Amino acid sequence: MSWIEVGKFDDIPRLGSRVIHSSDGNIAIFRTSDDMIFALRDACPHKGGPLSQGIVFDHRVACPLHNRITELDTGKAAAPDEGCTQRYATRIENGTVFISLTAEVSEVEKLSQSA
């Protein structure tokens, strides 16, 4: 897995996000209240709203368009909603955040690929 540097951990506000631009589209980097870092494609699984502009709480984000909830650790929409957005692996090293631009395969995608 190859990693790219996206910035300093302290530059991402608690319960906030930052966006990086990739050739595949925008990726939102989220920081939770317990200082966990998550990265998702910056598109709600419902209608593609910018998750980076949503409200972060617990390990979730509420889409700013229709208030649909997405789980930060899986990219899956919270029940009763359905759908999934791409998730990216993250790591923190010496106060710097790195992500892998290889999208992780979600459990939903794994199930559909094995069917």
Q: Which domain holds residue 83?
A: 4-114
pLDDT > 60? residue 110: no
For residue 28, the model assigns a pLDDT of 97
Q: Quick one: which of 29, 74, 82 has its CA closest to 56?
A: 29
How many structural domains are present in the chain? 1
The CATH number assigned to the domain holding 102 equals 2.102.10.10
For residue 46, the model assigns a pLDDT of 87
- The reported pTM is 0.86
Q: Residue 50, preceding bond cis, omega within 30 degrees? A: no
